Amino acid sequence: MAVTAGMVKELREKTGAGMMDCKKALTETNGDMEKAIDFLREKGIASAAKKADRVAAEGLASVKSEGNKAVILEVNSETDFVAKNENFQKLVSDLASHILTNAPVSVEEAQEQTFTEGQSVQEYINSSIAKIGEKISLRRFEIVEKEDGASFGEYLHMGGRIAVLTVVSSADSDLAKDVAMHVAAINPTYVSRDEVSQEEVEREREVLTQQALNEGKPENIVAKMVEGRLSKYFEQVCLLDQPFVKDGDQKVGKYVEAKGASVKSFIRYEVGEGMEKREDNFAEEVMSQVKK
């Protein structure tokens, strides 16, 4: 039976699979639409396995909150092009909702949980791999709880390239979001100096001391210089010590304090951080797909 463009279009609309995959499925099943759907479902699982060794270091980070609970998560794809795909964005949103509702303690537990009747979270991800055509993986997530009267600050930069979730002690959600925007821009490591280990402080003090001595500074003023430079170090790594991005004349700590609040915590996810990214020629990749 001849496979027509209309049949390919219909199968694509029913399954969300790629055009060439739909054409192949219809050819393999002699134009039988139902068998072609089954063929693609089977191929979806095979595709997921085939793509398992690929590097997926693009994607989206996102934040979702409900009441006193919030989740921040990162879902990876192979290309940033796919991150703009509506189906991929829906997948990220669906996974955030599932995690918020079911509270798994690890990615592995989340993958094994039931997503819909008869389908696990990982099977749902696999079916999305078949539709979208790239390796997709739930990389990480963290669930945060706050007290009544506190606020979540949620901020996404570049549509989800960076996601930040903050908790402030007051009901001022605008303040919480302002702090989240600052964290996205400046990328502190700690909330306050209290969180920096004594070991790390001493290591930094030793480095700064040696630097000052190497510069030929007199030993009797080195200690004072080092303490001044240590303050600059805290400014780099501690949120509350940093000049606020919306008002450089104020430190974040003073700004928040003036609003009658304190920063309880923050989490910042940047897509692909710490992962090895592949370096492909995008034009060559497109042409390779066209020639198939």
Mean pLDDT score of the chain, rounded to an integer?
88
- Mean pLDDT score, 108-123: 92
pLDDT tier at 253 (50, 70, 90 boundaries)? very high
* Three-class SS of the chain: CCCCHHHHHHHHHHHCCCHHHHHHHHHHCCCCHHHHHHHHHHHHHHHHHHCCCCCCCEEEEEEEEECCEEEEEEEEECCHHHHCCHHHHHHHHHHHHHHHHHCCCCHHHHHHCEEECCEEHHHHHHHHHHHHCCCCEEEEEEEEECCCCCEEEEEEECCCCEEEEEEECCCCHHHHHHHHHHHHHHCCCECCHHHCCHHHHHHHHHHHHHHHHHCCCCHHHHHHHHHHHHHHHHHHHEHHHCEECCEEEEEHHHHHHHCCCCEEEEEEEECCCCCCCCCCCHHHHHHHHHCC
Report the pLDDT value the prediction gives residue 28, as an integer from 0 to 100: 92
| Model pLDDT, residue 250 | 96
> What domains are defined for the chain?
5-50 (1.10.8.10), 58-145 (3.30.479.20)
Please give the pLDDT value at position 36. Answer: 85
Q: Are the beta carbons of 41 and 17 closer than 8 angstroms? A: no
pLDDT digits (tens, 9 = 90+) for 41-52: 766 644 555 555
- Per-residue pLDDT, averaged over 20-40, amounts to 87
| Banded model confidence at residue 277, pLDDT cuts 50, 70, 90 | low
Residue 40 confidence (pLDDT) above 60: yes
Model pLDDT, residue 220: 84
Q: What is the pLDDT of residues 174-233, one digit of tens each?
A: 999 999 999 999 999 999 999 999 999 999 999 899 888 888 888 889 988 999 999 999
Residue 286 is predicted with a pLDDT of 47
The confidence score (pLDDT) of residue 292 equals 46
* More confident position, 8 or 51: 8
Rg (CA), the chain: 25
pLDDT at residue 55 above 70?
Answer: no
Task: Say if pTM beats, i.e. exceeds, 0.85.
Answer: no
pLDDT at 46: 43
Summarize the confidence of residues 156-175 as an average pLDDT.
96
**Would you state the pLDDT for residue 252?**
98
Q: What is the mean pLDDT of residues 161-182?
A: 97
